[in-house]
Chain A
Amino acid sequence: MKIKQIAHLVLVNFRNFFREPGALFWSFAFPVAMAWVLGIAFSGSPEKKYKVFLSGDSTFQKIFPSASATGFTQKIGTGSGTSAQVEFLPASEKTLTDALKKGICVLYIDLKNGQPVFHYDPGNSEAVTLYLMLERELSIHANRPVYVTEKITMKGTRYIDFLIPGLLAMGVMNSCVWGISWYLIELRMKKLLRRMVATPMRKSSFIISHFVTRLLLTSFESCILVLFSWLFFGIQMTGSFAALVLIYLSGILAFGGIGLVLASRTQSTHVANGLINAVVLPMTIVSGIFFSYQSFPEWMIAIIKVLPLTLLSDSVRAIFNEGAGLPEVLLPCGVLTGLGVVFYLIGLKIFKWY
């Protein structure tokens, strides 16, 4: 063994690592920032909050002594270390399904002749956790009721129904932001961008070509995902196709614009990697792609709701699961298009062709 050689190579590796600002950011700052954001959502401060909907007869006092007919809040899991505030709300069938589709609640209790039936999707880890906490709470109760669980199977309310529209929206974002900015930066690094603008090529043709390319590619990608989830999970789109087309177009415009801005002055793909991730990753996590953003604090939800990815994924989800049509998506379409135009103008203004 050549200890000195190994030691020196380790030193060289360290130098390379610490002299790359991007690497430092991703290794140290980013995980801490993410932990902080997710920590706010799922732990610590001060307690997790869940909404559980109740349906059936209104004899919940048998299970929860503090229950009232208009809804009540109960602290559960106080003995186990991880406690949570659960808001129990009586609900009609309609509000219940709506809430499930939007991810506002992940579990509901149906009470039939004094016997609680827990409805949730075992595929959703958040619902499983909540169920386990509720189960524990009830089992230490004096008059422990006999309860059963039932898997949620109604189309549009399962976890997969929540997930697929989110994945479609994420696909649009990734394809546009990564696709456009990476490509443009590479062309700039090769000085090919400079070579191309030295011809009579119109800059607008060049930019439009990227939007069109992304439109075709994302449509194709989405078709494959939808086809797959239709075949395997029986996912169906209940809303209007025209609304879906419209929201896709505005989503591509918005994320294409973001891609253009990110690429406008970036000189190397090393820097781009960090820059793009810094924009894309937080949105992927907070915008309700994999889990609902309802458990973030109120003030954060207000911000999250206007993030482009949230606007897109909420709309796509509404079109797939809630039968949304053109009127429901007009506002998010307008906002996304507006964002797209603003980013496009900024991007073009500060874009460095050489």
Chain B
Amino acid sequence: MVLFLNALIAGIGIGAVYAFIALGYSVVHRSTGIINIAQGDLMVAGVLVAYFCLVKWHRNMALVPLAILVVVIILSLVEERIAVRPFITGRARSTGWFVSTLGFSFALQNVCVNVYGQHPVVAIPGLFRTASIKLGDTSISTKFLAAFVAVLLTAAVLELFYQRTWLGMAMQGLAEDREIAALRGVNPAQLSQIAFAIAGVVAALAAFVVAPIISSDISVGTFYGLKGFIALAVGGFGSIRGCLVGGFLLGLSEQMFDLYISSEFEIVAGLIIVLLVLTIRPSGLFGARTVRTV
């Protein structure tokens, strides 16, 4: 029973990280139709910043969130400028964004790995005072709890953003009918920049909560990036709820697979889930009826 609860909590915690990445994808995809393959790497870059601040330079904890935010947002905007903008403005062939963001992801990964150097993975000192909270027989790991709470809050804020603010509404319109949105005064290039900035914020938040989970393992950018995409695919494009459900579903199935079937091949769980969902409901669990797969 204890094992089950632990797996449950871990599943939700890690699922929250996947959901975070899925949210980042979703924000960009809604406004531009592009999947930013480097989303996972942006998060990892944020973790690197946390590592430097806390482990190498022993700075104050208070500095960390700000530092992560600044660095990740800048990286995201740089990516938008060099790897995405040409495809929004139509200067380059419109399908090249895939190759371009893949290239940026690859390059960013490499930079992070090189900057980190050859040291072994170390824990990033406690962002939270207590490692776990006791609840009856079990203890809930605070890092998972934090991830869970953080992603729910972020999702809620994003929902509000899309429903209540002018920018959010403009982005929703842009996603549904670019031409009409443009005719009503929405500037697609400007909004793509803003979308990337927001995705940067989401990646920074994700970095903050994932740092205690992955420690300083800088190599997992692609790993989380792809998992996040699976979460998005399962949950359905264009739905914030979908990102959450997709992420949690993926995290939970991995942990359950780990517990009940095999602890070594938990990654297979993701593959099974995505193939199942794609076969039964290609647009994802909460996806819009029109499948936007390209």
Question: Do A and B associate with each other?
Answer: no
| Residue positions of B touching A, CB distance < 8 A | none
| Residue positions of A touching B, CB distance < 8 A | none
